[in-house]
Amino acid sequence: MTRIAVYPGSFDPITYGHLDLIERGVVLADSLIVAIATNPEKRTLFTVEERVELIRRALEGRPAAGRVRVDAFGGLLVDYARANGATLILRGLRAVSDFEYEFQMALMNRHLEPGIETVFMTTSAKHSFLSSRLVKEVASLGGSVDGMVPPPVIEALAGKFPRSRKPAARGPR
């Protein structure tokens, strides 16, 4: 039996924290679907199509890439997971403050679909401060997001925020 996991989120934009969870989470299943949640009421910087493309480009050349599929969905996550044969939902926790909301969602999802388990993974310490919201804020104010997001996202942010800085050239270390 093939074990499929779903890693849902808005990924607006994808960060190195998200990529860390993808690379670590893919070992829990035979395949992982990075599922972009669409919500017409939520304002996003990037369109769904742009986010799909940015995630695909960010995954290029990474070990997990062959076992990851990028998709978008609307509606209930458990309905999407069930329709795709998934038995796991992967969720990331950056801080204790994330836990209460995520725990509540996991319990609701279990109530709606007892056959799908939620697995929590903590982010790596070096990425624990990252959020898509903060990345967008830094870029919009002209700051560098080098080291927070992959190069395709840096380029895309520069297109949205002309003031955002390109990564500084680094010399030998």
Cite the active site residues.
18, 42, 94, 132
Helices 48-59 + 151-160 axis angle, to 10: 150
Partners of residue 119 on adjacent β-strands: 90
Let me know: does 151 contact 60? Beta carbons within 8 Å.
no
Across the chain, the runs of DSSP E, i.e. the strands, are: 4-9, 31-37, 68-73, 88-93, 117-122
DSSP 116: -
